[in-house]
């Protein structure tokens, strides 16, 4: 009889039911009511657990899931060996060890800020050029119009004389003046005027008041209007004080700076988080 050592290799499948696996299988077999009872009992027995508001949404989502326990049970009875042959522990370990995949955030970090997405109104030159392109003019007249628009300041006034434009660009003075009058009828009315008097008169002509006294006040009495010397205007034009005041109200409604509405950047107002008001001796 000989005594020796031998090495035998054998393959076999063994299912080890760990406590975690047993709990997972037990939970998977429960219906909604059984799951609620188990959760409530665990909350009572374990003081470290607490119920959050997410439980309501969880219960609601569980109600929307169709109850397929009967189908699962039927399939289990047809093939009772299927659950025993599957290595649940290996499956759960592989699931926990799966690396986290990168999450695509939809490019939110690359999007511009809120301030950069706001639509901006066109500035005065763009607004005038757009109207110029719609006018029935010759190519040379539109070229003259572009030169005139290029010499308009932010208040809407022409910064140079028509003689300077004609001399610098080799245009006819009368043609430059004709184009200037066309531009003065653009929106805003009175733009491209050479002084305040011309600006107000253009707006008065647009009102079609046909009021000689109103035109005379703007033409000859702007200084008296500034100093409110209405008596001088009454005496010069031979009209009553009520008539002067009525025309002054019309002039006050005119725009002395036509380009003002297009100047500067739009204001972004800050909305306060809280409001504090004083009631008696307290601030609330």
The boundaries of the domain holding residue 150 are 121-194
* Predicted local confidence at residue 104, as pLDDT: 46
- Token code pair at residue 200: 């107000």
List % helix, strand, coil for the chain (3-state, nearest 5): 55, 5, 40
Is residue 10 domain-resident?
no
In this model, does residue 117 exceed pLDDT 60?
no
- Could you tell me if 182 and 129 lie in one domain? yes
Is residue 216 domain-resident?
yes
Q: Which residue has the higher pLDDT, 49 or 139?
A: 139
- Mean pLDDT, residues 221-230: 93
Smallest Cα–Cα separation from 222: which of 254, 180, 192? 254
- Encode pLDDT of 183-194 as tens digits: 999 999 999 999
Is residue 25 domain-resident?
no
Band of pLDDT at residue 248, cut at 50, 70 and 90: very high
Smallest Cα–Cα separation from 202: which of 190, 192, 191? 190
- Mean pLDDT, residues 194-207: 95
The answer to whether the CB of 162 falls within 8 A of the CB of 177 is yes
CATH number, domain of 136, equals: 1.10.10.1330
- Mean pLDDT, residues 122-134: 93
- Could you tell me if 185 and 215 lie in one domain? no
Placement of tokens 């008596």 in the chain:
231
Placement of tokens 């522990």 in the chain:
89
pTM above 0.85, yes or no: no
């Amino acid at each position: 009889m000989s005594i020796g050592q031998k090495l035998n290799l054998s393959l076999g499948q063994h299912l080890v039911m760990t406590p975690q696996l047993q709990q997972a299988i037990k939970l998977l077999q429960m219906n909604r009511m059984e799951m609620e009872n188990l959760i409530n009992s665990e909350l009572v027995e374990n003081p470290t657990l607490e119920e959050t508001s997410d439980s309501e949404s969880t219960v609601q989502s569980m109600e929307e899931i169709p109850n397929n326990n009967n189908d699962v049970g039927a399939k289990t009875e047809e093939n009772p060996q299927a659950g025993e042959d599957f290595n649940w522990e290996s499956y759960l370990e592989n699931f926990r060890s799966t690396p986290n995949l990168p999450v695509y955030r939809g490019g939110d970090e690359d999007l511009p800020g809120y301030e950069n997405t706001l639509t901006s109104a066109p500035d005065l030159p763009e607004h005038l050029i757009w109207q110029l392109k719609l006018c029935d003019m010759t190519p040379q007249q539109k070229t003259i119009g572009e030169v005139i628009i290029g010499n308009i300041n932010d208040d809407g006034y022409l910064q140079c004389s028509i003689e300077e434009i004609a001399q610098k660009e080799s245009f006819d003075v009368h043609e430059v003046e004709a184009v200037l009058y066309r531009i003065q009828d653009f929106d805003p009315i009175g733009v491209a005027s050479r002084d305040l008097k011309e600006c107000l008169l253009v707006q008065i002509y647009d009102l079609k008041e046909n009021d000689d006294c109103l035109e005379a006040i703007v033409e000859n009495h702007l200084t008296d209007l500034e100093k409110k010397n209405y008596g001088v205007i009454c005496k010069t034009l031979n009209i009553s004080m009520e008539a002067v005041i009525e025309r002054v109200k019309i002039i006050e409604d005119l725009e002395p700076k036509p380009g003002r509405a297009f100047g500067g950047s739009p204001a972004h107002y800050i909305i306060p988080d809280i409001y504090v008001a004083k009631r008696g001796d307290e601030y609330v």
